[in-house]
Structures are given as C-alpha cells and as structure tokens.
Structure 1
Amino acid sequence: MSAMKVGVIGIGNMGRSHALQLDKGLIDGATLTAVCGRKDQIEWVKNNMTGEVQCFEDEEAFFNESRIEAVIIATPHYSHPELAIKAFAKGINVLLEKPAGVYTKNVLEMNEAAASSGKVFGMMYNQRTNPLYQKLRELIQSGELGEIKRTNWIVTDWYRSQSYYDSSRWRATWKGEGGGVLLNQAPHQLDLWQWTTGLMPKRVHAFSRYGKYHDIEVEDDVTAYVEYENGATGVFIASTGEAPGTNRFEIVGDRGKMVIENEELTFYRLTQSEREFNASYTGGFGEPECWKIDIPVKGENSGHRGIIQNWTDAIVKGTPLLAPGEEGIKGLEMTNAIYLSSWLNQTIEWPIDADLYYEKLQEKINQSTIEKKNGSNMT
C-alpha cells in the first residue's frame, strides 16, 4: 500500500518539526508531499527537505491542487478553525496544532464540519502520549483514588524572557495571538487537567494579570478557582514570569492523593476511605493509615511523533484516536471561561456565553497594539 499523502500548512517552528518528521520517514504509512507557507518558509523547505515536495504560498491553491489526503495545520491560532473547515470541505483528514482556536464559537462550527465530513480529525495534544499522565488517568478512571475532592495544578515553569515576546509582531497580543500563557503555553495542562480526572468545571472565578512581568498586553500570570458538579474544587495557576518555576499536579480523592512532580507519580494511598473513616472513627485526633507508593511508569513519551503516528494509523487502519480533534474545545472552554471571569470580575457558569465572550474579545482586539510591535511575523 502506498503511503498516505500529507501536507503541512504553516512552516514555523512546529510546522517545520512536523514536516521534517514526515520527510525523514519517521511516520509509518505517511509521506510529506506538499507544504504551504510564506516565501521565506518555502525557501527553508526547499533547502531542508530531501523528498519531492510541492510548495504553495496560496492556501486555496494548496487545498485545490496538492492532491493531499491529510493535512497538519500549524498556523497562528485564529486561523485554525477556518483552515480545518476548508480541509474538511475538500475531503481531507486534519491534524490540528493546539489550541483548537481562540474562541469556542467558531470551534463549534469546526467540530460540526468535521462530523459532517466523516474525515479523521485529530488534535496535537502530544502530552497525552506521556506515560505519566496515561498512568494517572488509568488509576483515577479505575477508581483507585475514589471520588475526587480537589485538584490543584501549579504550572509556572513556562518562563519566557522579554526577547521571546519581542521576536514576533503577533506574539502576546489579542489581535495576533488571542491570549497569553493560557492560550500559548498552558493548553496542554488545561487538556490534561480534564482528561486525566474526567471532570469538567461547572463554574470558575479567575484572576489574570496582564503584562505583570513583561511589556505585553495579554496575561502572563493567572490564578483560577473552579468548582465541579460533585462538589470538588480546583485551582489552576500558570505564569511565564517565575524562575525557577514549579510544575506540580495534585489530585485528592477520598482514597488518598496522587501527585505528579519532577517526572514522578506518587500515590499517597489510604487503606480506608476518608469518608468511611470520618464516619466511624471515635478516637478524636487521628486519620486513616496512608501508604506512600512510588508508582512505576513504563513506556515511551513519543510526543508529537506519537500523535502524528496515531492519527495516521486512525486514517489508514481505523485505530482509535488518542486525541480526537473534537475534544480540543474542552480546554478552550476553560480558557474562555477564565478570561471572561477575569474581564468581568465575576463567577462564570458552564456552559459559557460564547456570544458574550466573542464580543469582549473583539473589544480587546480593537485595542490591540500589534501594529506598534517590532519584529517579523513567525508562524
């Protein structure tokens, strides 16, 4: 069977990585046959690809003339849903870089287009290939932790210097990027937060600081408090302005606590449910017996390559997707809710008001200073 013809649109940092993996034959069953990008990006492709690759600067020509069967979209955030919808209309399978989009309104339209097309739609949530989070999810879903009572994720090891933000006109602007740490750095954690626990918040109250540590107009420091349907609570903290940063994910259930930190998974396992102990213990001071267990985690963290391979196998062999594209909206819903809560200084309930969010985002875009920034635009 001949290899599936894959195109990549957007040949920036991530697009180049994906194109190289395909060109080098690292993805079984798929080969790079076309790319679409700016003139300077096309020159890079011509100088670095070993196979025969069609090059396009016009996206319409790319979709109409390349004869690709599948496309990886790695363009700036705002264009993700629009390009995916165009691909589905042409009968092309799609793998979309995170985030799914900037606002849920057009991401919903994208999901509907995907469902109508019957094509395979994947999301580049490469952290789902990490054995640590796969094991955590397995343990939680199997009931080992019992009913979840609290979640807490501090992810502040996303440090970025001012020069990083100054490197591109579109970075860290509402008009160019659509957000800051939540939309650029933290989408993977927001996805894993709900994917591993199986919980989506029902309400959120959040506090965002805009340009707290950098000369930027979007947020670089966020604290969000959420509540879940079962009464559990959670806190999500993210920043690009702390050094050294922390990455600690903690989930508490009535059967103990699980912690991921420093690439290790630790289970503080109670020998008895805390709720049962609370109801039956008569000794005053005391608590359930707890065993500290260092959970062995085996397997390869295949990252981006693993997601591309899984997506290819889903198209060619019918293999279940590890990161279905339709699930991209879940993390984006949390992002939009956190922004809206911060902008309005109020608690936001699910489902969020997508029209109100879009309206408030347009106000931010209209005030955006993207035209005042220096540097070249890098997708």
Structure 2
Amino acid sequence: MADDIRPLPQPGILDIAAYVPGKAGAAGSHAVKLSANESPLGASPKAVAAFRAASEHLEIYPEGSSNLLRTALSDVHGVAAERIVCGNGSGDLLHLLAQCYLGEGDEAVMNRYGFSVYPIITKAAGASIVMVEETDYTADVDLLLAAVTPKTKIVWLANPNNPTGTYLSDAEVRRLHAGLRPDILLVIDSAYAEYVTAADYSVGLDLATQASNVVMVRTLSKMGLAAARVGWMVGPAAVIDAINRIRGPFNVNLPGQLAGAAAVRDTEFTARLKAHNAQWRDWITQELDSNHMHVVPSQGNFVMVLFPDAEHAQLAFDTLMERGLVVREIGNSYGIPHGLRISIGSEQAMRGVVGILKALVQIA
C-alpha cells in the first residue's frame, strides 16, 4: 500500500545503538552531576566575558574558518594555524573523519573499552568496527596491530581513554604508529590531555605535525566550555584540506569561537583546573581503592571504580543518586557492568562520594 511507502535510512543505520549520555538529577533538584566529566570550577572568567560580548552580535554569521580561535590555538600550542581545523565539539570532527576515510567494506579498529562514539560514527559511514581486547583496562598495542587487516582504514585511540582513564605512553603510541601501513589513519583523541600528569605522556602533536597519517583531536569541553561545543584537530595538510571540504560552512558559532579563544589563552585558569583535578583524583583513588573496590589509575578528570559484581555497582549508583550525587553507569554503554565512572568534582562532592561508598561496603 502507498501508505506504507516512506523514506528509509541507509542500510545499517537503524542497527546503531544511539549514544547515551550520563544522567543528571531531576529538574529543580540540587543533585551534583558527576556523570559527564564537566569542569568543577566552571569556565575561565575571560571565556565567560568573551561569550557575553558575543551576544551583542548574534545577527551576524561567524567567521567561517574559526581564524581567531585557530590563531589562539597556534600561539599557545605552537602549531601552524593552517594545520588546525575547528569543529562543533570534537565529536563533529570525529564524524567528519569517519565520513572522509571510511566506507562500505572498510574496517576501523579500536580497543574494547574505547569511547562509545567510535562504533557509531564507523557504522554510520558504512564500515565495520573491530573491537580489540585490552590488558588491565588499557589499550594493548600488540593486540591492536594484530587486528589490522587489508580492510583497515582507521585506528581510533582515545588517550587517555574514556571511561577507564588509562593511557598509552608516548613510546607506545609511536610503536603503534610505526606498525601501521601508511594508508591507515591513526586518530589520537586527546580529549583529556589538559588533566594528564604522567611524565611519559604525549598529546600527539609531534606525530600529527610530522606524519602523513596521524591526526590529533582535542576539545574545550573538559576545560569548562561543554555548553559552547568547541573542538579542534591538528593533522597533515591533506587531511585538513579534506575535512575543510565537507565540514559545515559555519560549524563553530561566534560565542564558541570567542569564548574558545579566550579560554585557550587563559593558561592560568587551565593550570588551576589541572591542579584541582590532580589533587582530588589522587585523593579519591587512595581513599576508595581497597579489598571492596578497585579504582583504576586514571589520567583523566574522572576515575573508574570497580565493584565485586554488577549488583554492588547498581547498589552504589542508586545510593549515591538518592543522596544527590549522580555518577555514570558504564554497563550498557561500555560493557563494564560492575563499574561506575565518577567525575572529579568539588571537594565537598568528592568527600561525599567517598563517605557514602565507604559506609556502603561495610554494610553490603
């Protein structure tokens, strides 16, 4: 019947499980959200002022290449502005990379507990995702390389990884790159780079500026601009050219560009955010890691806490929720049903989480 005829999405689209963000408290509640890895110190005051100033010019289109933002990134990070492309959050850029370099019959490789957006964008491009097992919740270079086939076109690597917080050293990332064919694109997703304290870590800038098949993707969301949706990427000239050809013509809005540039230049605020995170990330790790719970060592602005089983994890989640502390369940989205991801928040929030979980394991 004609009534049954309707537009249909491309094959495979309806097989994709949609991204599920972390929960928030009920509207009007005073719940503390520790489920989305947001900044506990808000945004840079300079970024807030720039965002407000942009409200005086909402009738005009933003500059199409995000030149002001790219210049700020270039000045602070020491990379040529023409090797940078900006996006509506890093997710926008990841989608564009998949659209550019993946198609029907291709494969993309990722570690088992990597960012859950990677399978979505891979399948949306018509390609297949190859999940590779990890070692101690950490990407394993040997296993990743062993999973590469003639069909492989992209390797997705979140470094540090979400939701585990684990990372690969600069030497291991370079070993991974050295083992890939030159036609395979290595995507280093350094979304949490601002929070890393490990001495052997590298954000991936050197590889992204020197190699012909490496890009580094970053975001300003974790620095306090989650609402503004600002991401950026560094890569070879050919990759940047390809992305610029298909991205939206005004894909970063004016408030985002101005606030982003101000946030990037406010290195004092970034340092304060990093110091707060390091202090309370280390503290909550030491307080909770025990015979009852295991905290996976993290380099992000969150920790992953593992419980004896899924039932204990659910009890912990429900109890924290009842007390107004909302953390991230990672069973359905990441396949770690006995774990919870807890964002680093204020001192009060961190002490609250620790107090509740310590009391819980004594009675569970």
TM-score by length of 1: 0.31
Task: Report which of the two has the higher share of strand.
Answer: 1
Largest Rg, 1 or 2:
1
Higher relative contact order (CA 8 A, sep 6+): 2
Q: TM-score, normalised by structure 2?
A: 0.32
